[in-house]
Amino acid sequence: MAYNWQQKDWPNFSYSSIEIEDTLYQILEKVGLVSGILKALPSDTQMETIVDIMVSEAIKTSEIEGEYLSRKEVMSSIKNRLGLSQKQTTDKKAKGIGELMVEVRNTYQQQLTEQQLFAWHTLLFSTDTTVKVGAWRDHPEPMQVVSGGMGKEKVHYEAPPSEKVAGEMQRFITWFNETSPGGESEIKKAPIRCAIAHLYFESIHPFEDGNGRIGRAIAEKALSQSIGRPVLLSLSKTIESKRNNYYNSLEAAQKSLEITPWIQYFVNVILDAQQDTEDQIDFVLKKTKFFDRFKDQFSERQLKVITRMLQEGPKGFEGGINANKYFTLTKSSKATATRDLQDLLAKGAIVLLGESGGRSTRYKLNL
């Protein structure tokens, strides 16, 4: 079977949206709800929420590609680029992806250009000498998505040859701008435009590396443009949680120009990501109230552990906290860890997790 770009009508995708009308409506409802809640928050809480979600997107879009970055370094990069901090980021990859997140957010209204894509790519790979940076791929070898070990390789997809990339990207950029709000071929349903934009870009696969990360940034830009403000969600966090579904859906979509299943899949990713944003905002509010309740009541050790637990977000610290984890995090003795935990329990800052007891006693924050 030929890949989508090899077919006669490429890149004229066809699809039906009948089955997802309810989902599209739910997304619009949630976008409005999140926007309203965010506006009602104090400015510092607003910014904390925005930064947390941008950090999640930066970390997860990298994890999908097999790169695991320090949350602290990524947050430092984002805050620095937003003018909220002067602390420099030492990890160049964390610095690059953090700056990309801010750049995508700040320039969402601008038309997409070749120069913008090259600038994004440069942010990701400015210190990488193994990748052709800020330019389309030009190697003669096929650009293939492959899995399996040596001798057992399976080719999932082969992109257009390098000599076609410049022309394909010129056509993609024209399509992207013409389908934007007010464009000649405007796609009014934001999630659908977002889904097509991501698939279209990934099918061309124009860079030597970084196509996934930039493709997800393009999806975010498309969504932001169509709703008229920077979108507040992490598509990558949702995709990464069910990574195989993403790759399987993408592989199937790249074999046909009829992409209804892909549209249905990706629109549901957007809905799930928007729900996750609601949960994140609720978590930030609970966290703020938690610290208001226990202001100046924690020791330095206790505060360090609580801060670390809160970094795990709404789902909480995996397995809860116990004396062993506590003394590992604080480098204190087990006796001190037990006393600190008992103090937090007495104050009502933590509660028992499950029906544990003795050495296996575990706790969670009482948010």
Q: Torsions phi, psi of 155, nearest 5?
A: -85, 115
Q: What integer is the mean pLDDT of 326-354? A: 92
Q: Which fold has domain 4-283?
A: Fic-like fold (1.10.3290)
- Residue range 295-365 forms a domain whose CATH class is mainly alpha
* 244/122 Cα distance (integer angstroms): 28
Peptide bond before residue 142 is cis, with ω within 30 degrees of 0: no
pLDDT in tens, 6-63: 999 999 999 999 999 999 999 999 999 999 988 888 888 899 899 999 999 999 999 9
* 132/318 Cα distance (integer angstroms): 40
The reply to whether domains 4-283 and 295-365 share a CATH topology is no
Token pair belonging to 27: 């997304």
Portion of the chain with pLDDT greater than 70, in percent: 98
- Confirm if 349 and 298 have CB atoms less than 8 A apart: yes
234-261 burial, b for 16+ CB within 10 Å, e for fewer?
bbbbbbbeeeeebbebbeebbebbebbe
Alpha helices in 64-148 (DSSP H): 71-81, 92-106, 114-125
pLDDT in tens, 118-162: 999 999 998 888 999 999 999 999 999 888 877 788 899 999 999
**For the chain, what is the radius of gyration of the CA atoms?**
23
Least trusted range by pLDDT, from 21-35, 203-217, 257-271, 304-318: 304-318
Least trusted range by pLDDT, from 60-69, 84-93, 170-179, 295-304: 84-93
Peptide bond before residue 11 is cis, with ω within 30 degrees of 0: yes
Q: In the chain, where are the structural domains located?
A: 4-283, 295-365
pLDDT-derived band at 359, boundaries 50, 70, 90: low
- Confirm if 69 and 93 have CB atoms less than 8 A apart: yes
Which pLDDT value is given to residue 355? 62
- Confirm if 223 and 194 have CB atoms less than 8 A apart: yes
Q: Torsions phi, psi of 86, nearest 5?
A: -105, 0
Residue 239 pLDDT greater than 80, yes or no? yes
Q: What integer is the mean pLDDT of 256-272? A: 98
